[in-house]
Amino acid sequence: MRPEPGGCCCRRTVRANGCVANGEVRNGYVRSSAAAAAAAAAGQDFVSLYQDFENFYTRNLYMRIRDNWNRPICSVPGARVDIMERQSHDYNWSFKYTGNIIKGVINMGSYNYLGFARNTGSCQEAAAKVLEEYGAGVCSTRQEIGNLDKHEELEELVARFLGVEAAMAYGMGFATNSMNIPALVGKGCLILSDELNHASLVLGARLSGATIRIFKHNNMQSLEKLLKDAIVYGQPRTRRPWKKILILVEGIYSMEGSIVRLPEVIALKKKYKAYLYLDEAHSIGALGPTGRGVVEYFGLDPEDVDVMMGTFTKSFGASGGYIGGKKELIDYLRTHSHSAVYATSLSPPVVEQIITSMKCIMGQDGTSLGKECVQQLAENTRYFRRRLKEMGFIIYGNEDSPVVPLMLYMPAKIGAFGREMLKRNIGVVVVGFPATPIIESRARFCLSAAHTKEILDTALKEIDEVGDLLQLKYSRHRLVPLLDRPFDETTYEETED
Amino acid sequence: MATATEQWVLVEMVQALYEEKEELIEEWQPEPLVPPVPKDHPALNYNIVSGPPSHKTVVNGKECINFASFNFLGLLDNPRVKAAALASLKKYGVGTCGPRGFYGTFDVHLDLEDRLAKFMKTEEAIIYSYGFATIASAIPAYSKRGDIVFVDRAACFAIQKGLQASRSDIKLFKHNDMADLERLLKEQEIEDQKNPRKARVTRRFIVVEGLYMNTGTICPLPELVKLKYKYKARIFLEESLSFGVLGEHGRGVTEHYGINIDDIDLISANMENALASIGGFCCGRSFVIDHQRLSGQGYCFSASLPPLLAAAAIEALNIMEENPGIFAVLKEKCGQIHKALQGISGLKVVGESLSPAFHLQLEESTGSREQDVRLLQEIVDQCMNRSIALTQARYLEKEEKCLPPPSIRVVVTVEQTEEELERAASTIKEVAQAVLL
């Protein structure tokens, strides 16, 4: 159940968005004078490249608060980061770099769950050695002459890590979805996709040519109804049975912080003989007692998930994606995946970073660093979420998910929150439409094992202040603060007063 | 008001329907998730390269000279490039841990975009973290449902995927045939006159490649620019093969023909060939390129390029700017091997003499594609045994719109010496004679 703000907050939000709409009136004046100028400049009557109304939101809302995104950094994206200061003298239409660097900004925006974004340590040394030996690029595809021994080593390690028969690695996480879903399903197949799936899953589903049906976010009744109807009624118009049904879900949804209801999805999949494609981009390394992802978190068998997909960008501090599953699946992908035939393979130093960090998480490098990181992340998550709830903010998502969305609702608060936090030396990510519904803008914190308790306490103190300043404490449930001291008689007497 | 009997009949019907549904659910059998792959599928067992895929490389345990990697300028194992990447690794680590919008923009990325824009003499450039995703994200950012795209039949797979994602009307014209393109444009003009209101909002694009990957031929850019202004269609030029190869300074096919770069609306290229790094870029006027920063899917929803690869690309650009002589050297070597491979009985050279990546196709097909592929693989394997590393050009047979015939790909780089080129040509000649006759 999601906590909801009071009614008057909703009304204010809608009114605030309405105020933005009066920009359309202003546009009318601007357009008529600008049109003549533009026509003269183009002078060649080409059809205009962009639609007027498509840009409306960009010009009137996004441009005013544009300084909260694309902030350039110039250090490792670890727990603290250095941001290059920018200034704008024309209301964010263009930026100039002042040359100053804001040092030591607490980084609550990078996907650095296990803290492997480092420029020192065993991962970096191993990657440096491989870079010296192999070079940075590969200049060929996997099926031609770009399959290095390093790639074979990586795939074998990934398969062992996930507990599956075989795995295959690709150069880009986004492309892993958009190039492999079309290889698995085609016309005559059905894809059941969660409402809030990532753009890469949506693109992959569209490119495959299969029929797509959306079920409500994490709602098992909605999914079951779709499955039942699909099998009973078959394809639309022809009523022929579907060739196969593929369910697309994610481990952790990055804008909601919610964890997929995996046991129920697997039960449904087994009952209706569908196939399950699990995208663990955010959950691999971040969930589970040994960081094996959402399958381990629920204590399930990896063989129940037909296609386990994930990325190396978030918890392994590298780039690229992988797919794991049965040997037949991987053999098929090796011959039919678009990426294996037409796209360059992973760069060798990046492969080495993944291998070293994965071995570290598995504990195979002889240290307990991996285990400590996983535990530290879990502790940070619980502590941070608890403290924010106590302060009175509305937080979405599961208790154990390291992605923490804090609701802002009003469009003006998006810009205000981002700027106030940067003034206090904390870098946060704020998101609004179109990544989220238009009245549910939020700030999203990504916790990391690299965050120490001091860093989290500093951040929480500032969030508290800004929350009071901007009136963000919408929650109507007040949690009793946890007492640090063990329960004894004196404590009992104090609370009585 | 239904009587008791009627109500009972209704209940029975509903129960029967429910049981029927359960039966249908029980009976339905889906296809297996993937069809089985035969063990001798030509693409199943990859060649394993031990060590770096540079000029002298070890493939499947044999030492060979590399005629298969797109390392045109030999920058893959250049010590300066490696040093620059190493410095970046020591400063930033490996990954960027975020997309460009959320603390994933590093000063290295901004530098690289700046340098690329200056090198190509355009206003702005934008980088992507994957070469394939560059053109596949750029096309759908501009061309939407209802727009019309005229594309060459020999366009590469990445362009085809970009077009598929855009949901626009696709009109294919015969490879490099400007008369066919003009015919299609004229037909479209007639359609426009019938419906001028619709024509005013329908955008038109022409998508071509500088040097075609599938055929090794160059596109007739001057005629295309003329057609652009005559029929008001914008040109998107894909220069993956020609960037860093054609032109006096390696700026690509626009420099080769001496065309003003502002005439081309968007140039897209990947940095995985001549620049020996990973990723891709688009360049053009700011008005055009800036749009991709919010609507390029591969840019907004994907993690940014690792800084060490961006630093490697910057150093590669530096080297290209400092030694403009290498382009002439590459051109000469291409010409040399092109001539040497003419006149092999059974194989014909497909591609122009200035293309560093060209194809060797069977002069006469045996009739079945499988058999052709097997013959060519035999030639490749025997060349490998004689220390010349070659590869077949790989395609997805069922997915390509216009499937090219099977061929062996030969790649020329500046690192290959004249003796090596001669030896390769003679080896291929001998092996082809042995296998095909």
The pLDDT confidence band at residue A177, using thresholds 50, 70 and 90, is: very high
Which chain B residues are closer than 8 Å to A175 by Cβ? 130, 132-133, 298, 302
At B420, the amino acid letter reads E
Instruction: Show which of residues 38-57 on chain A sit within 8 Å of chain B, judged by CB atoms.
Output: 44-47, 49-50
The pLDDT confidence band at residue A129, using thresholds 50, 70 and 90, is: very high
Residues of A with a catalytic annotation lie at 254, 282, 314
Average pLDDT of chain A to the nearest whole number = 87
Pairing state between β A211-215 and A190-194:
parallel
Would you call B18 an interface residue with chain A, using a CB distance cutoff of 8 Å? Answer: no
Q: For A45-59, A65-79, A406-420, which range has the lowest pLDDT when averaged over its residues? A: A45-59
Closest partner CB to B103 (pick from A73, A241, A243) = A73
How large a percentage of chain A has pLDDT more than 90? Answer: 67
Which chain A residues are closer than 8 Å to B94 by Cβ? 123-124, 127, 317-319, 349-350, 353
Which chain A residues are closer than 8 Å to B300 by Cβ? 199
Q: Note whether A46 contacts B232, CB cutoff 8 Å.
A: yes
Q: What's the pLDDT at A497? A: 38
Q: Quick check: A188 and A357 in contact, CB under 8 A?
A: no
The pLDDT confidence band at residue A73, using thresholds 50, 70 and 90, is: very high
Closest partner CB to B312 (pick from A136, A140, A328) = A136
Nearest chain B CA: its distance from A230 CA (Å): 9
Pairing state between β A166-170 and A211-215:
unpaired
pLDDT value at A474 more than 90: no
Q: What's the pLDDT at B344? A: 85
Q: What's the pLDDT at B334? A: 93
Average pLDDT over residues B339-349: 88
pLDDT value at A8 more than 80: no
Q: What's the pLDDT at A39? A: 41
B236-263 pLDDT, tens digit per residue, is: 999 999 999 999 999 999 999 999 999 9
pLDDT value at A24 more than 60: no
The two tokens of residue B235 are 């040109």
pLDDT value at A254 more than 60: yes
The pLDDT confidence band at residue B80, using thresholds 50, 70 and 90, is: very high
Q: What's the pLDDT at A435? A: 82
Residue B182 neighbours by CB distance under 10 Å: 16
- Dump the DSSP string for A162-201: HTSSEEEEES-HHHHHHHHHHHH--TT-EEEEETT--HHH
Average pLDDT over residues B330-338: 92
Distance of alpha carbon B103 from alpha carbon B97, whole angstroms: 8
Average pLDDT over residues A439-453: 92
Nearest chain B CA: its distance from A458 CA (Å): 20
Q: What's the pLDDT at A282? A: 93
For testing contact with chain A, the best of B97, B192, B288 (most A CBs within 10 A): B97
Average pLDDT over residues A15-43: 53
pLDDT value at A43 more than 60: no
- Bridge partners, A105 (sequence order): A81
Please give the C-alpha separations between residue A157 and each of A154, A164, B52, in angstroms, as whole numbers: 5, 10, 21
Q: What's the pLDDT at A62? A: 85
- Dump the DSSP string for A255-313: TT-PBP-HHHHHHHHHHHT-EEEEE-TTTTTTSSTTS--HHHHTT--GGGSSEEEEESS
Q: For A120-124, A170-174, A472-476, B199-203, which range has the lowest pLDDT when averaged over its residues? A: A472-476
Would you call A497 an interface residue with chain B, using a CB distance cutoff of 8 Å? Answer: no
Q: What's the pLDDT at A494? A: 43
- Bridge partners, B347 (sequence order): B362
Would you call A317 an interface residue with chain B, using a CB distance cutoff of 8 Å? Answer: yes
Distance of alpha carbon B351 from alpha carbon A318, whole angstroms: 38
Nearest residue on chain A to B57, alpha-carbon basis: A145
Nearest chain A CA: its distance from B162 CA (Å): 10
pTM summary value = 0.91
Q: H or E element: which one contains A213?
A: strand A211-215
Which chain A residues are closer than 8 Å to B277 by Cβ? 136-137
Q: What's the pLDDT at A19? A: 65
The pLDDT confidence band at residue A6, using thresholds 50, 70 and 90, is: low
pLDDT value at A45 more than 80: no
The pLDDT confidence band at residue A437, using thresholds 50, 70 and 90, is: confident
Q: For A264-278, A445-459, B123-137, B390-404, which range has the lowest pLDDT when averaged over its residues? A: B390-404
Q: Note whether B37 contacts A331, CB cutoff 8 Å.
A: yes
Which chain B residues are closer than 8 Å to A250 by Cβ? none
Which chain B residues are closer than 8 Å to A132 by Cβ? 82, 86
Number of A to B CB contacts under 8 A, please give it: 331
How large a percentage of chain B has pLDDT more than 90? Answer: 74
Q: Note whether A171 contacts B30, CB cutoff 8 Å.
A: no
Q: For A87-91, A282-286, A392-396, A435-439, which range has the lowest pLDDT when averaged over its residues? A: A435-439
The pLDDT confidence band at residue A476, using thresholds 50, 70 and 90, is: confident
The DSSP output letter for A104 is E
Distance of alpha carbon B343 from alpha carbon B429, whole angstroms: 9
Instruction: Show which of residues 328-387 on chain B sit within 8 Å of chain A, judged by CB atoms.
Output: none
Which chain A residues are closer than 8 Å to B106 by Cβ? 72-74
Closest partner CB to B97 (pick from A44, A123, A313) = A313
For testing contact with chain B, the best of A105, A139, A351 (most B CBs within 10 A): A139
Nearest chain B CA: its distance from A479 CA (Å): 32
Nearest residue on chain A to B44, alpha-carbon basis: A335
Nearest residue on chain A to B86, alpha-carbon basis: A128
Q: Note whether A135 contacts B82, CB cutoff 8 Å.
A: yes
The pLDDT confidence band at residue A10, using thresholds 50, 70 and 90, is: low
Residue A412: HSE in the Cβ half-sphere, 13 Å Cα cutoff: 11
pLDDT value at A26 more than 70: no
Would you call B324 an interface residue with chain A, using a CB distance cutoff of 8 Å? Answer: no
Nearest chain B CA: its distance from A98 CA (Å): 14
For testing contact with chain B, the best of A140, A315, A328, A352 (most B CBs within 10 A): A140
Which chain B residues are closer than 8 Å to A73 by Cβ? 103, 105-107
Q: Note whether B97 contacts A317, CB cutoff 8 Å.
A: yes
Nearest to A80 by CA among A47, A55, A105, A97: A105
B125-155 pLDDT, tens digit per residue, is: 999 999 999 999 999 999 999 999 999 999 9
Q: What's the pLDDT at A36? A: 43
Which chain A residues are closer than 8 Å to B132 by Cβ? 172, 175, 179, 338-339, 342-344
Nearest residue on chain B to A242, alpha-carbon basis: B30
Q: Note whether A175 contacts B92, CB cutoff 8 Å.
A: no
A259-272 pLDDT, tens digit per residue, is: 999 999 999 999 99
Sign of the Cα torsion A73, A76, A77, A78 reads negative
Residue A445 neighbours by CB distance under 10 Å: 25
How large a percentage of chain A has pLDDT more than 70? Answer: 87
Closest partner CB to B49 (pick from A145, A334, A353) = A145
At B97, the amino acid letter reads C
> Is the model more confident about A49 or about B266?
B266
Residues contacting B125, CB < 8 A, separation 6+: B113, B114, B116, B117, B281, B282, B283, B289
Instruction: Show which of residues 348-407 on chain A sit within 8 Å of chain B, judged by CB atoms.
Output: 348-350, 353
The two tokens of residue B332 are 């000469």
> Is the model more confident about B83 or about A29?
B83
